[in-house]
Chains A and B, each alone.
Chain A
Amino acid sequence: MTTEPVRNEYLPIPAVIKDIRRETFDVKTFSLELGEPHGGFVYRQGQFAELSVLGVGEVPISITSSPSREGILEFTIRAAGRVTRAMHELGVGDLLHLRGPYGNAFPFEELRGKNLFFVAGGIGMAPLRSLINMVLDARGEFGEVKVLYGAKSPGELCFKEELSEWRALPGVDVLLTVDRPEAGWKGPVGLVTALWDAAGLSPTNAVAILCGPPIMIKFAAAGLSGRGFADENIVMTLERYMKCGVGKCGHCNIGGQFVCTDGPVFDYAQVKRMPEKEGVF
């Protein structure tokens, strides 16, 4: 067997942390600037990258910034494991390493003219934000935009300033709910699915886009289905433990597919075809 040399997909490139915004007690948003060579890091909405703290490890993180905003590359990261905790220790000017972008993307062209319902739970807002801002940057080309966002507590809602900015735009509504209210919380309490009526949820000319914990996705997708959304109009991005991000290490496989290369974005029809014992939800 004789093969041509191929690009080494596992080598990350350096990225300088230009800004860090604290979102919640355990979530921060990192703005990165790529050093040379940047290898043409051109991403689409809903894709992810493999981020490294050299010496600690590498994790897949969804890109939360939008392709419509050139030159901006942001990742919203919850300190959940060893590597993400190490990232939270870093400061402005420190180095991360990155490779990608990987995975498919949220639909965009196909969404033109549609009413859009974004349904987010917890850190699941991070990948949705990429598409939301892209849609809002072309506001006139879409119908009504409703953002339904649930978190454990008011303090755990990310992107608070941006949520207010979105809400102020014409034809955009942002509905929030929490599991555990705190003093001063005037909004609803309960699951994100309890917001259906307040959001005026209707399947007519509409697409719902979901991201959140597996249990939330499970109930939200079933709930939307019950409200008349066709499976193809319920779009979700799945999370799975991953190592390589390029369809080799095997960790994220579900049936004959890899979440990293066949996804992470799937519609409900595709998800329903996945074998139940693989624990999709």
Chain B
Amino acid sequence: METRTLLKADVKTLLHEASKKWEVFAPFSEPSGDVNFRQPESADPGAFEGLTLDDLPTLIPPKRLFFPQSEKLFEFERGKIRETPHASPKLLFGMKSCDLAGLLFSDGFFAKDFPDAYYLSRANDRLTVVKGCLQPPRPGSCFCSSAGTGPFSSGGFDLQLVDLGDRYAVEVASEGGARFVADHARFFAIDGDLGAAIADTKAKAAKALGTGIEFGKAIELMATRDFEENYARIGERCIYCGACLYTCPTCSCFNVFDRAAGGSGARFRSWDGCVFEGYTREASGHNPRAKKASRTARRYEHKLKYDPLVAGRSGCVGCGRCLDSCPVGIGMSKFIREITQGTEEM
């Protein structure tokens, strides 16, 4: 793989330059203490001031850039339908390897069978720049090294940043990545053989982000066993707020609804969630999956049993957001510990 270097001190200038062509999204530290993966607030050079490439947890994964929390599907007026356009080139700078894995999983889901025009038009002309973690952004919650999604991506990105102290090694993995490097050539130096330094950083990171989570074992167990007792117990504890679903990089359930007044209006879709009681309720009142235990089972079995069966890989990328966002301490890493170690974590 072709490699360049990028000085850390140059990153904000580079992004300001890139923002003339791209909608740039990157992690920003907010005054509230939150970290959001978002666009700068203005076109000023100073707008990248809050940018952070430290190993901090972003609240919402980049999924929302392609599958927004709520979006207009089309407008209508007196029976005539008007499609709403979406596409624009997006640069996703400094995303984490787990989030790239989530995005690639979502790409596959939205592209298969009946391709989703809204998601795909937004994913068109997308450039992903991964920044591998050196420390876990969600200690105790995230487990990318177990899930096989990090701390560095093994592929699927355009560019990947490897921390070498005052600079990043930049791994160039695609034509799009090479074009970006060429377009901003003054920022990207050729620095001789960095192979050993890159391998050293990656090895240290793998060690620092190692967890005892037995992900592979969990997938095997889920394929053959029904953890009814766990679902019943966790189902009683869950408050069904949906935070785990909304912060999940691969959850894709949505609701569709119309808003109209006086013959004109629009059709929207918005995030929905399989754990909600009304999710499967029919007009007759019949609800095939009304029980809390069934809805809880759905969430874990979808990610750890059916996704491996249908998509060939788990929809859990080990980011840890479900546990970090849960008001009552439920999360995937705990569930995996429960079933692999026979403990009660929740």
Give which listed residue, A9, A10, A55, A251, contacts B279 with CB less than 8 A: A251
Question: What's the Cα separation between A11 and B97 when bound, in Å?
Answer: 35
Asked if A1 and B294 sit within 8 Å, CB to CB, the answer is no
Question: What's the Cα separation between A220 and B176 when bound, in Å?
Answer: 58
Give which listed residue, A58, A247, A253, contacts B114 with CB less than 8 A: A247
> Binding site of B, secondary structure by majority: helix, strand, loop or mixed?
mixed
Asked if B254 and A249 sit within 8 Å, CB to CB, the answer is yes
Cβ-based interface call for B125 (8 A) = yes
Question: What's the Cα separation between A58 and B302 when bound, in Å?
Answer: 26
Contacts of A52 in B (CB 8 A): 258, 267
Asked if B113 and A246 sit within 8 Å, CB to CB, the answer is yes
Asked if A250 and B288 sit within 8 Å, CB to CB, the answer is no
Question: What's the Cα separation between A84 and B118 when bound, in Å?
Answer: 27
Given A10-B74, A55-B263, A57-B257 in contact, is the A250-B252 Cβ separation under 8 Å? yes
Asked if B306 and A256 sit within 8 Å, CB to CB, the answer is yes
> Which of B114, B269, B297: most chain A Cβ within 10 A?
B114
Given A56-B258, A58-B256 in contact, is the A279-B290 Cβ separation under 8 Å? yes
Cβ-based interface call for B98 (8 A) = no
Contacts of A246 in B (CB 8 A): 113-114
Which residues of B, 269-301, contact A by the 8 Å Cβ criterion?
269, 272, 274, 279-284, 286-291, 293-294, 297-298, 301
Contacts of A6 in B (CB 8 A): 115-117, 120
B40 to chain A, nearest CB (A): 23
B297 to chain A, nearest CB (A): 6
Cβ-based interface call for A204 (8 A) = no
Question: What's the Cα separation between A255 and B279 when bound, in Å?
Answer: 15
Which residues of A, 80-110, contact B by the 8 Å Cβ criterion?
80-82, 84, 95, 97
Asked if B114 and A278 sit within 8 Å, CB to CB, the answer is no
Contacts of B13 in A (CB 8 A): none
Contacts of A243 in B (CB 8 A): 254-256, 269, 272
Given A10-B73, A10-B117 in contact, is the A55-B260 Cβ separation under 8 Å? yes
Question: What's the Cα separation between A240 and B274 when bound, in Å?
Answer: 14
- A113-138 interface mask toward B, CB cutoff 8 Å, 1 = contact, 0 = none? 00000000000000000000000000
- B98-133 interface mask toward A, CB cutoff 8 Å, 1 = contact, 0 = none? 000000000101111111111011011110000000
Question: What's the Cα separation between A42 and B165 when bound, in Å?
Answer: 62
Question: What's the Cα separation between A95 and B232 when bound, in Å?
Answer: 47
- A1-42 interface mask toward B, CB cutoff 8 Å, 1 = contact, 0 = none? 111011111111010000000000000000000000000000
Given A10-B74, A55-B265, A279-B288 in contact, is the A250-B81 Cβ separation under 8 Å? no
Cβ-based interface call for B189 (8 A) = no
**Number of A residues contacting the other chain (C-beta, 8 Å)?**
46
Asked if B306 and A255 sit within 8 Å, CB to CB, the answer is yes
Given A251-B272, A279-B288 in contact, is the A1-B81 Cβ separation under 8 Å? no
Which residues of A, 41-56, contact B by the 8 Å Cβ criterion?
52, 54-56
A197 to chain B, nearest CB (A): 30
Would you mind naming 24 contact pairs between A and B with Cβ atoms under 8 Å apart?
A1-B107, A3-B111, A5-B121, A10-B74, A54-B79, A54-B260, A55-B260, A58-B258, A81-B283, A84-B283, A95-B79, A239-B282, A241-B279, A243-B254, A243-B272, A249-B256, A250-B252, A251-B279, A256-B306, A261-B113, A277-B226, A279-B290, A279-B294, A280-B288
12 further A-B pairs in the complex, CB-CB below 8 A; given A241-B279, A249-B254 = A1-B107, A9-B116, A55-B263, A56-B258, A57-B256, A58-B256, A82-B283, A247-B112, A250-B272, A256-B305, A256-B310, A277-B226
Residues of B within 8 A of A (CB): 73-74, 76, 79, 81, 83, 107, 109-118, 120-121, 123-126, 176, 226, 228, 252-258, 260, 263, 265, 267, 269, 272, 274, 279-284, 286-291, 293-294, 297-298, 301-302, 305-306, 309-310
Residues of A within 8 A of B (CB): 1-3, 5-12, 14, 52, 54-58, 80-82, 84, 95, 97, 213-214, 239-241, 243-244, 246-251, 253, 255-256, 261, 275, 277-280
